[in-house]
Amino acid sequence: MPAFASLLVAWQRRHGRKGLPWQDTRDPYRIWLSEVMLQQTQVAAAIPYYRRFVSRFPDVQALAAADEDEVLRLWSGLGYYARARNLHRAARKLVSEHGGRFPDSVDEIEQVPGIGRSSAAAIAAFAFGRRAAILDGNVKRVLARCYGVEGWPGEREVEAKLWRLAERLLPKDDVGVYTQALMDLGATVCTRQPRCDLCPVRRRCVARRESRVHELPAPRPRRTVPLRDATWLLLLHNQQVLLERRPGAGLWGGLWTFPAASNAGYAAQARELGCEISSTRELEPLEHGFTHFRLRIRPVLCGVARTLPGVAAPGRLWIDLEDAAQAAAPAPVKKLIARLGASNASW
């Protein structure tokens, strides 16, 4: 039987994905950008962000020279914002310490902020032809099914076993094609609801042979996701809203959000923010999911009668609703802004 890698390379050349905007390039900057965007994000969702990003920042020098707020604004809606901050910080480091040259070895690439072992290998393979194994979520699923690897891939021992397998299967030639084949096979054929009849390695697949396709890889052990509560003040004055910039580190770092309510009472806190409010109205709550918890947000619409001296403090911004929709803000903020701006909003 042909080797696993040769079957994938042949399949890729006939059936693999074509025409993705980051394919057919050896530019490490663009490959790096695509790898970062595709962490925790589906291809279809990443494509428009990728195109806007490379249009505005065509190379690492342009990204390094940008203001972080603009980087976050272009990333807004894609989620996992630490990726954008790491990307920006890494671009500046590459320019200041390496003259804008991207490192060409896996070990060096892995030192770039925000790049892990698998992404470093992918960049090295696609941009520089290096022989290096990848192991993203899709590849874990392909290997676990084909070779009958038991256990949840997030467990250290299981992941280590998959890494050893990934390295052993690497071909000597056509590493870039093989790497793309693994990605494409996991994304389009060996999915959670697989299409085994289209798989080039179905005859050697342990999971298919043992009728365990839906058992492998083992799912993440179930755990209770905590629910946290937050109350946001939507201070509205002459079709403008007040936003606050979050600290650079932590949740939504560097993004613009609504002020969070404290225990001081809405009117008292509004005065601390430089606003005298005439009315308050609690709006329909919304929830937003993170990796480790869910956030339940209780928005309170506050009509501002007038602003007080000192309202324009550092880290605060009065912004038109129309402009706020384009600001560097997380998804829940944009949802609330859209509701505020909609003429038929059903508050």
Is residue 7 within 8 A of residue 203, CB to CB? The reply is: no
In the residue annotation, 210 being an active-site residue is answered as no
Rounded alpha-carbon distances, angstroms, from residue 203 to 5, 210, 265: 14, 12, 67
Matching residue, tokens 């054929």 = 189
d(CA 112, CA 125): 16
| Secondary structure (DSSP) of 291-316 | SS-EEEEEEEEEEEEEE-TT-S-TTE
d(CA 191, CA 148): 16
Matching residue, tokens 């324009």 = 312
d(CA 300, CA 158): 47
Tell me which DSSP letter residue 260 carries: B
Residues forming a β-bridge with 177:
none
**Which of 35, 157, 210, 215 is labelled catalytic?**
35
Of 168, 138, 167, give the one whose Cα is nearest residue 153: 138
β-pairing, 240-245 vs 227-237, is antiparallel
What element of type H or E holds 62?
Answer: helix 60-65
Other beta carbons less than 10 A from residue 285's beta carbon: 12
Catalytic residues: 35
